[in-house]
A and B are shown apart, each in its own frame.
Chain A
C-alpha cells in the first residue's frame, strides 16, 4: 500500500476552514483515499472516501487532483468538537486492510 505523509499537527480557530493535505506519491491505480477521524478515548470513525476529483458529504469535502499523488480533506467552519486526529489511508478496492499512519492532530481553539 502507498506510504502517506501528513502534517503531524495543525492549529485552527473556531469558524475557520481547515485543509489537511496528505501526500501519497506511489498510490496504486486501484487505491481509494479514505479519511478517518479519532477523538480522544474513542475508536476511529470513517469520514469520507474518494477516488478522484471532489467528494462532499455532510461532514467534509475531499479533493483529489488528477495525478492522485495527494489529497486534501477540507473541514468547513470547524468547531471545538472537531479537535481530533485525522488519518489519511489509501485503501485498495475490495480490501479489508486499513493501514493507519501517525495522522494529523488538529487542535481547534476558541
Chain B
C-alpha cells in the first residue's frame, strides 16, 4: 500500500524565493496534517484539514505560510518569501478520522540559504 507521499524530498532555495511543498495523503483518509521539525522546537503541528477544510491553523508561523487542500488527494504548503529560519523538515500526515492514528510521510528537508 502506498503511504503518504511528499515531494520534493529535499529542497534548497535562497532567501526570498517561494517554496511549495506537496503531499498526497493515503487514499480514503479524511484528515491531513502538516508538521515542522527542527532541532530547537521539535515536531510542531502547523495546520490540520478535515475533509479538505482547514480546521486548525493556529500553528502556522506567520502570513508567509499558507496551505491548501483543493481535493482529497492533494495538499500544498507554501512559503513566500522564504527565510533561513524556515529551514526544517516538513512532514505531512493523514488519518482516517480526526482522532485516529496519524500516518506520516517521509518528509521534505528544506534548506533556505
Asked whether A and B interact, the reply is yes
CA separation between A96 and B46, bound complex, in Å? Answer: 12
Q: With an 8 A cutoff between CB atoms, is A55 at the interface?
A: no
Quick one: which of A43, A95, A101, A102 has the most chain B CB within 10 A?
A43
Residues 59 to 113 of chain B near chain A (Cβ within 8 Å): 91, 93, 95, 98-99, 101-107
Which B residues lie within 8 Å of A41 (CB)? 106-107
CA separation between A99 and B51, bound complex, in Å? Answer: 22
Interface size class of B (residues with CB under 8 A): 20 to 34
CA separation between A53 and B108, bound complex, in Å? Answer: 38
Q: With an 8 A cutoff between CB atoms, is A98 at the interface?
A: yes
Interface of A is mostly: loop
CB–CB B99/A94 < 8 A: yes
Q: Residue on B with the closest CB to A99?
A: B45
Q: Mark A29-51, 1 if CB is under 8 A from B, else 0.
A: 00000000000011111100100
Q: With an 8 A cutoff between CB atoms, is A97 at the interface?
A: yes
CB–CB A96/B91 < 8 A: no
User: A96-B48, A101-B42, A102-B42 known; A43 and B106 CB under 8 Å?
Assistant: yes
CA separation between A96 and B97, bound complex, in Å? Answer: 9
User: A43-B93, A46-B101, A46-B102 known; A98 and B107 CB under 8 Å?
Assistant: no
Q: With an 8 A cutoff between CB atoms, is B43 at the interface?
A: yes
Residues 64 to 110 of chain A near chain B (Cβ within 8 Å): 93-98, 100-102
CB–CB B91/A43 < 8 A: yes
User: A43-B91, A43-B93 known; A96 and B107 CB under 8 Å?
Assistant: no
The 6 A-B pairs at the shortest CB distance, nearest first, are namely: A43-B104, A100-B43, A96-B98, A46-B101, A43-B91, A94-B99
- Give the A-binding residues of B (Cβ under 8 A): 4, 31, 33, 42-45, 48, 56, 91, 93, 95, 98-99, 101-107
Of the A-B pairs whose beta carbons lie under 8 Å apart in the complex, a sample of 28, sorted by A's number, is A41-B107, A42-B104, A42-B106, A42-B107, A43-B91, A43-B104, A43-B105, A43-B107, A44-B43, A44-B91, A44-B104, A45-B103, A45-B104, A46-B101, A46-B102, A46-B103, A93-B99, A94-B99, A95-B98, A95-B99, A96-B33, A96-B95, A96-B98, A97-B45, A100-B42, A100-B43, A100-B44, A101-B42
